Structure 1
Amino acid sequence: MPSPQQARAQASAITSGEAGEEASPASQLRTLFDRPRLSPGQRRIARYLIEHLTEAAFLSITDLAERVGVSQPSVTRFASVVGFSGYPALRERLQAIALGALPGGPAEENRGNELQAAVDAEVGNLENLRRDFADPGRVLGTGRGLAASAPLTVLGLRISVSLAEYFAYAARRIHPDVRLVTRGGSVAYDALLQSREAGGTWVLAFSMPRHARETLTAVRVARGAGLKVALVTDLALGPLADEADVTFATGTGSRLVFDSYAAPGVLCAALLQAMTDADPERTQARLDEYEQVADQYRFFLGD
């Protein structure tokens, strides 16, 4: 029995030549809902949507919950688990697929080959993030908190290390004391406790799938020490989100063997922008100083 990742490796193998026929609506939905962590109730929702797409795509969350026999929060959790910011975003995607399946309906644009389909999925994640940014209040408020925390701790373990390193690298240009934690266990606990003792107030934690158990433990240690936690992840609900003070949930690309992070990357840049806006004078002074050092030691090639 192959693991979920092995199955993805087989399903996402890159093929050459012209794109084949467009996948059927049911096949598109099965791909969309192909998540190994779906609970039995969530699988019921997925099965209902696949079997009754042309009707279900236009139901309200209340009506869908009643048809399936689950609660409204269960539908919301399902939308989050399959990579959407909420039920409205999932319904938009379902309607696009359903309209392409109806007689005389607009055909969905040819998805092309597997690599193009992966890009299409990331475009969808970015569109969902754009809708979330319609109200930038949470991003701006969190940016102020991160900017004011000295030191500021950035936590990312296992697959999430890359996002944490990117954020920490950029944040050091505008913040005087950024501490990066990329090892779990007692090493992470020591770093978090020392950060709190030094006056830190916030931790920015990254948790991408597959979610590491040690990340949850580290977040609990941070909260226990009195640190606030801002979490960047792909799930709006679950044990990690329950522990965080603020959660930014955005989809990851899951069409290929390994996930891609277009939307989390943009979210990182947005939080960095919010930090610069929170203290523009400090930001400008630090950037000016860095440019002087970079010129002096010729860090970069000339354009």
Structure 2
Amino acid sequence: MRSPQQARAQASAITSGKTAPAAEPSATSQLRTLFDRPRLSPGQRRIAQYLIDHLTEAALLSITELAERVGVSQPSVTRFASAVGFSGYPALRERLQSIALGTRAGGPPEENQGNELQAAVDAEMENLENLRRDLADPDRVIAVGRALSRSAPLTVLGLRISVSLAEYFAYAARRIHPDVRLVTVGGSVAYDALLQSREAGGTWVLAFSMPRHARETLTAVRVARRAGLRVALITDLALGPVADEADVTFATGTGSRLVFDSYAAPGVMCAALLQAMTDADPERTQARLEKYERVADQHEFFLKD
């Protein structure tokens, strides 16, 4: 039996040259693909079926109206939207409206998508649009940025595929924070690092969990919580075992059109939290950046552009 990644490798194969556009899939087909998630609860499957059967009408309903039509609670609709890959019901409704109109939200008609690489970029643009809507109210980002700034040491956790995002964040955070500890190995190594961070006075961990979600990330987050550390999580879905353990979750979509995921939206989310950290203590930020520039010039770290 093929793994999901093997299936994606075949489906996203790049062909050279222009090809004739494929026939646009029907709205029903698009919805079935969108809702094809193996772990949907019976209530969530009922919501999905209602949307498939009543797309034109449902695309215009408020969350309250949809919940009443299906016979579920409003939080159930919100959890359903997260379970099928959206930041919330408004983002899902916009996608439903774009399918009903035969266009992608904020993008060109389906028949003008181009090749697989262009389709992958289109999907990432949609992830960024969803993130932009989420950041309309920046208060939560500002609050978490302040908390991360005050945590000394600050631990950044990213295992397996999530290592690259954790390394990026830790590299930048060290320019503005006096004690950033990066954990990229699971098991007892992660346990030791987390316990030592708490003993040294740390209060927060910033964790990354990208698909496929590593079991050892869940274990490490639980260890952090038991040690008395609070956890801010950047991941792709607001629901799931790791999100359930976190104190704060920032759910940002990942690009999944190609064999390996791409992380445009999580990268911007990292930059937003870093900005919030710099704003939390501007005097410390300025002093540390100036000191780093002097060292960089002295040792000629960088090429002269």
TM-score (norm 1): 0.92
More deviation, 290-299/7-16: 7-16
RMSD of equivalent CA atoms? 2.0
Residue 273 in 1 paired to residue 255 in 2?
Answer: no
Change (3 A) 1:213 1:169: same
1:208 pairs with 2:221? no
CA distance in 1 between partners of 2:25 and 2:184 (Å)? 40
Q: Does 1:118 align with 2:120?
A: yes
Q: Does 1:29 align with 2:31?
A: yes
What secondary structure does 1:194 align onto?
A: helix
Distance 1:290-1:67 versus aligned 2 partners, 3 A rule? same
**Residue 150 of structure 1: how far off its partner (Å):** 0.7
**More displaced stretch, 90-99 vs 63-72:** 63-72
Deviates more, 1:11-20 or 1:233-242: 11-20
Residues 248-263 of structure 1 aligned to structure 2 (within 5 Å) = 248-263=250-265
* Aligned CA distance change for structure 1 residues 288 and 19 (closer, same or farther; 3 Å): farther
The equivalent residue for 1:179 is: 181
- Alignment match of 1:217 (pick from 212, 219, 228): 219
- Ranges in structure 1 where 5+ consecutive residues have no aligned partner: none
**Is 1:6–2:10 an aligned residue pair?**
no
Deviations 1:253-272 (A, max 9, x none): 11112111110000000000
Change (3 A) 1:266 1:107: closer
For the 8 Å contact 1:19–1:112, the answer to whether it is kept is no
* 8 Å contact kept, 1:97–1:108: no
CA distance in 2, matches of 1:109, 1:127: 21
Which of 119, 124, 143 lines up with 1:141 in the alignment? 143
Relative distance call for 1:138 and 1:254 in structure 2 (3 A) is same
232-241 or 162-171: which moved more?
232-241
2:25 pairs with 1:15: no
- Counterpart amino acid of 1:215? T
Q: In the alignment, residue 116 of structure 1 is paired with which amino acid?
A: Q
Equivalent in the alignment of 1:53 = 55
Residue 295 (structure 1) aligns with? 297
Q: Secondary structure at the match of 2:205?
A: strand
Identity %: 87
Distance change (3 Å), C-alpha of 1:19 and 1:150: farther
Question: CA 1:189/1:51 → structure 2, altered by over 3 Å: closer, same or farther?
Answer: same
> Structure 1 residues 107 and 166, CA, compared in 2 at 3 Å: closer, same or farther?
closer
In structure 2, the CA distance between the partners of 1:145 and 1:260, relative to structure 1 (3 Å rule), is: same
Of 197, 200, 204, 1:198 maps to 200
1:155 aligned counterpart, secondary structure: strand
Shift in Å, 1:39: 3.9
Deviations 1:47-93 (A, max 9, x none): 44334322222233344345445443332222112221111110011
Deviation, 1:203, is 0.4
Q: How far did residue 14 of structure 1 move? A: 1.9
Q: Partner amino acid for 1:191?
A: A
Q: CA deviation at 1:176?
A: 0.8
- 1:3 maps to a residue whose letter is S
Aligned CA distance change for structure 1 residues 289 and 75 (closer, same or farther; 3 Å): same
- Size of the alignment, in residue pairs? 299
- Cα offset, 1:42, TM superposition: 3.2
The amino acid of 2:19's aligned partner reads E
Identify the residue that residue 172 of structure 2 maps to in structure 1: 170
User: Letter of the aligned partner of 1:18 in structure 2?
Assistant: T
Tell me how far 1:223 sits from its aligned partner: 1.0
SS at 1:27 equivalent: helix
Q: In the aligned structure 1, how far is the partner of 2:131 from the partner of 2:256?
A: 16
User: How far, CA to CA, are the matches of 1:200 and 1:250 in structure 2?
Assistant: 26
Q: Which amino acid aligns with 2:289?
A: L
With the length of structure 2 as denominator, give the TM-score of the two structures.
0.91
